[in-house]
Amino acid sequence: MNKIFGYEKLMPMNSGVEAAETSIKLARRYGYINKEIEPNKAEILVARDNFWGRSIAAISSSTDPKSYLKFGPYVPNFIKIPYNNIEVLENHLKINKNIVAYMLEPIQGEAGIIVPDDGYLKKVRELCDKYNVLMICDEIQTGLGRTGKMLASDYEDIKPDILLLAKSLSGGFMPISAILCDDKIMLNIKAGEHGSTFGGNPLASVVAMESVKVIIEEGMIENSYNMGLYMRNKIENIIKKKKVDVKIRGKGLMNGIEFSEKIKVEDFIRYMGDNKILCNSTKRNTARITPPLIINKEDIDKFSYYFEKFI
């Protein structure tokens, strides 16, 4: 796994939120040791409209009332900044020496499949290097072929300091997540200072390694890229033909269809479900379309047929 992803260490945990929590601990410890930040002063930048779980720390970093309302008090020292805004990011890094990390999704999932501008991730990488701040990429939704690359961050050829994987890591079969980083970060935590009862479960670990192997060897990443293009072209052509106020965005097989206020996304989800097609909704009246990485043109044609009938 370290060879595939290019890191010196991997720490297995059980879920995405555990992986994200662990990355926060690693970033804080790195800041105290390597940046000599005063005790309990470390701060973490997070993108607004993020979603990385339902733990107390996760909801403390959330801007969604459905996540945090009436669950306080909250964990301090999370700073929420606009996604896809380099100027605001640099302003914070310039004036605040207590920032130890910026955690973001390369494509925001729950926010409505929000794809950042080309070059955004590369600029984030440059700024994190400039100010000695760790770049944490939450690839729990975007990773492992979902966007047509092994990692969504591969589109800009950047390597985050800490990489988070989960969900599809075991093909949905076993609870497992992974935190990958190099020794300069991971080895700041010593034996007994962090762990999990079932983290590194032998069966889950074997399943995860085989899952990644299958994704690579069976061409699922390439299929995700090609079928994603095919799907977006089909849907865009239908939108133009019907002249409706609908947008599709995404990469690979991680796509969002955003409807105007005239169409309720819940009605679309229900309609597709009645026709044995599963999808879900996110913010901004958006349907999240994330089919299996083995999907073919016939299945996409079926989806497109019902999409056109609906609108």
Q: Kindly list the catalytic residues.
A: 51, 138, 167
Residue 33: how many CB atoms within 10 A of its CB?
Answer: 12
Cα 147 from Cα 42, distance rounded (Å): 33
The residues, any chain, with a CB within 8 Å of residue 275's CB and separated by 6 or more, are 306
**Which residues is 177 bridged to in the sheet?**
13
Cα 249 from Cα 235, distance rounded (Å): 10
Are 20 and 56 in contact by the 8 Å Cβ rule? The answer is no
